[in-house]
Amino acid sequence: MTKERIGFIGVGLMGHGMAGNLVDKGWPLTVMAHRSRDAVEDLKTRGAKEALTPRELAEQSDVVILCVTGSPQVQAVIQGPDGLAAAGKSLLIIDCSTSDPSVTVRLAEELALSGITFIDAPLSRTPADAKAGTLDVMVGGEPDVVERVEPVLRAFAGRVVHTGPAGTGHTMKLLNNFLSMGYAALYSEALALGSKAGLSAQTFDSVIRGGRMDCGFYQTFFKYVLERDRNAHKFTLNNALKDLTYLNSFANAVGLVNPVGAATRNSFALAVNAGRGEDYVPMLSDVVAEFNGISGNSVSFQHSADGLKE
């Protein structure tokens, strides 16, 4: 079976691993730098071609995957000057970004008028999973379109879930991130409170790990807390705040009272407004500790008995 030509925009933390799997598994790939030049050069050595504009990339592709920051960037890449739509051809666009569901639905309707199919396929898991080809993907689109793109998605995904029509993938992604960022906020406050009471992070972990409250997200979060591995969960506080802001906007649009969502967002807003936006999510534990007068960072939780600091 002849593989479709794939275009890829946004080869950053997640996109680099995804695009690498595609080219390594034989998909004809054209990439365009969004922010990461080094990733583009690496992919070119592995067989990918490079386009300089979205329009040029669209002209060389049957399917285009977007893995950019959010809805404003998606709209700019598609509808801006020299955007994907400017190629004036039939195209299938897969938005793997975490975007505003209302924008996704509107884009799908508008682009259909010009022969472009637009679906959402946001991601779960980490850049390490992207590289390993074991991401979870939530796909919003018509069944026949999802069937068409599933072999493409399987190049970098271990699990593909069809959530419903366009927009439902992004909705589910926001709910998924609400749960994970909610955990991050809870862990951070619990660690700070435990530190005030003289409980170390190791003691906390010895109770939680292997119990009913353990999970994959807990383990990557605590790989940073206990081992100070900055790369344990490479998702920035800026991106977390963006996703939680989308969630709150969605809740307002449907008339939902969401006190927990608002509180979770405020935890991340605190960190971002403190200048920590480019730190990764587990480092929220440091920010909460510092705002509560716990000196140093969360490594102090490990050594509260002797006061050892990093």
* Helical H segments across the chain, by residue range: 15-24, 37-45, 54-59, 71-79, 101-112, 127-132, 143-153, 168-196, 201-208, 216-227, 237-253, 259-271, 284-291, 299-302
- Asked if residues 120 and 170 have their Cβ atoms less than 8 Å apart, the reply is yes
C-alpha Rg value of the chain to the nearest Å: 21
Domains and CATH numbers, the chain: 6-165 (3.40.50.720), 171-302 (1.10.1040.10)
Q: Mind listing the pLDDT tens digit for each residue in 197-244?
A: 999 999 999 999 999 999 999 999 999 999 999 999 999 999 999 999
Provide the β-strand partners of residue 8: 31, 65
pLDDT tens sequence across 22-80:
999 999 999 998 676 899 999 999 999 999 999 999 999 999 999 999 999 999 999 99
Q: Is the pLDDT of residue 302 over 70?
A: no
Whole-model pTM: value is: 0.87
Residues with a known catalytic role: 173
CA atoms within 13 A on the CB side of 281: 30
Q: Is the four-CA dihedral 9, 7, 39, 129 of positive or negative sign?
A: positive
Q: Which two tokens stand for residue 282?
A: 């587990």
CA distance 289 to 219: 20
- 3-state helix, strand, coil split of the chain in percent (to 5) is 55, 15, 35
Other Cβ atoms less than 10 A from the Cβ of 258: the count is 16
> pLDDT (tens digit, 9 = 90+) per residue, 106-141?
999 999 999 999 999 999 998 999 999 999 999 999
Helix/strand/coil for 95: strand
How far is residue 300's CA from residue 98's CA, in Å, rounded to a whole number? 34
Determine the pLDDT at residue 18.
98
Q: At what angle do helices 101-112 and 237-253 cross, to 10 degrees?
A: 80
Structural contact between residues 275 and 287, judged by C-beta atoms closer than 8 angstroms: no
Query: Position 301: which residue type?
Result: F
